[in-house]
Amino acid sequence: MAQPTLLAIVNPLSGTATRQDKQNWIDFLLKKAVGAGFTPEAVFTEHAGHATELAAEAMQKGIRRVVIIGGDGSVNETARALLNSPTALGIVPVGSGNGLARHLGLSLNPKKAIEQAVDGRPVVIDSGRINEHPFFCTTGIGFDAHVAHAFARQPVRGLPTYIRTAYQAFWTYKPATYEIDQQSHQLFSLTVANAGQFGNNAWIAPKANVSDGLLDVCYLKPFPASAVTMLAWRLFNKTLDQSNYLTVRTARSVVVKGTEPMLIHVDGEPVLLDTDTATVQVLPSSLLVIR
């Protein structure tokens, strides 16, 4: 059998599509890839971190195109193995948020996204790192991380579940004080954005540019319950940066210190750091992505 030149990695658990739906997408991808001159192979992931292992092995074998069919967590797992390599990442977004794919303007229709991933050309984008954890869309501390941890415990994924989880969390969550680059701030949340949105077109950093060598640091101050509706409207209309409650600055790095081991999210996936300090930095021009 010929050495594969394109590897498709498929998360069977991402989103709400059935495994049969995903098998149909694989069949479509394999046919499309052969027609484009690739020798393709497709593999379902079997456990957390498996996408990273598969992508790293593909890169070491000289495969120059890896396509992930999954959500933001799957994209993160795959992309981290391809950092600073000549292997390009194709994204078929089928998860709950699809933040990076939406920012890049990729299709949310799986078959159209497969066509883009097979026929498209690589472009160079930045990524970020919080302590030892790479991220490609956003990382966050505070309310966003709190919701990510609560959402991860839900038996059903999808946008309705996320909205319900966030709504329930809002009424019990308490803002916290952080030392950010040696200055004290009381915040509802702190988001560091490489791309502009969390997913589902919720734009926390509307002016973020994935290729400028900078991160957008977004300080969301505590706000009254009466402001929730307007802030939500701004979030989904790319105008949150016009609110008096949000301050955005660009930086190549930022250091955040709390009072206990820090709860964060990395591209929407919950992580508990083993330290009270998070160091976030941009990794310029570190990933090839197919568009």
Tens of pLDDT, residues 209-254: 999 999 999 999 999 999 999 999 999 999 999 999 999 999 999 9
Has residue 1 got a pLDDT over 60?
A: no
Q: What architecture is the 6-120 domain classified under in CATH?
A: 3-Layer(aba) Sandwich (3.40)
CATH topology assigned to domain 133-285: Tumour Suppressor Smad4 (2.60.200)
Structure confidence at residue 82 (pLDDT): 98
Give CA–CA dist 158/97, Å, rounded: 8
The contacts of residue 162 (CB under 8 Å, 6+ apart) are 96, 97, 147, 151, 200
Has residue 263 got a pLDDT over 60?
A: yes
Question: Closest Cα partner for 241 from 204, 215, 278?
Answer: 204
Structure confidence at residue 245 (pLDDT): 98
**Contact assessment for residue 205 and residue 248, using Cβ atoms and an 8 Å cutoff:** yes
Give CA–CA dist 88/121, Å, rounded: 9
Give CA–CA dist 218/139, Å, rounded: 11
Residue 185: which pLDDT band, with cuts at 50, 70 and 90?
very high
CA neighbours closer than 13 Å in the CB half-sphere of residue 221: 12
CB atoms within 10 A of CB 43: 16
Instruction: Report residue 108: phi and psi, to 5°.
Output: -95, 0
Structure confidence at residue 166 (pLDDT): 87
Beta 253-257 vs 277-290: how paired, if at all?
A: antiparallel
Could you give the residue range(s) of every CATH 3.40.50.10330 domain in the chain? 6-120
E-state strands within the chain: 6-10, 40-44, 65-70, 88-93, 122-130, 133-135, 138-142, 176-180, 183-187, 189-193, 215-220, 246-251, 253-257, 263-266, 269-272, 277-290
**Contact assessment for residue 245 and residue 234, using Cβ atoms and an 8 Å cutoff:** no
Average pLDDT of 16-35?
Answer: 94
Could you give the residue range(s) of every CATH 2.60.200.40 domain in the chain? 133-285
